[in-house]
Amino acid sequence: MPNRTDFGSLTWNLDAMVEGKRTLQEFLGGRVKLVNFLGMDMAGMAPDIRTFPLPDGRGGQGWTVMQPFVETLLHQPLTTSFMVFDIWPEHFTITIKSCMQFSAEAVCSEISRIFGEIIDCHSWTLGPVVRGRRAFCGGG
Please determine, for residue 85, whether its predicted confidence score (pLDDT) is greater than 60. yes
Q: For 115-127, how does the pLDDT look when each residue is reduced to its tens digit (9 = 90+)?
A: 999 999 999 888 7
User: Does residue 101 register a pLDDT over 80?
Assistant: yes
CA dist 93 and 19 (Å) reads 9
Q: What are the residue ranges of helices labelled H in 1-131?
A: 24-37, 104-115
Residue 4, pLDDT above cutoff 60: no
pLDDT at 140 over 60: no
Q: Which domains does the chain have, with CATH numbers?
A: 11-134 (3.60.90)
| pTM for the whole structure | 0.79
- SS3 for 40? coil
pLDDT, tens digit, 9 for 90 and up, residues 28-64? 999 999 988 988 888 788 899 999 998 999 988 999 9
E strand residue ranges, the chain? 11-19, 48-52, 62-73, 76-87, 91-98, 118-126, 129-130, 133-134
Residues in the chain: 140
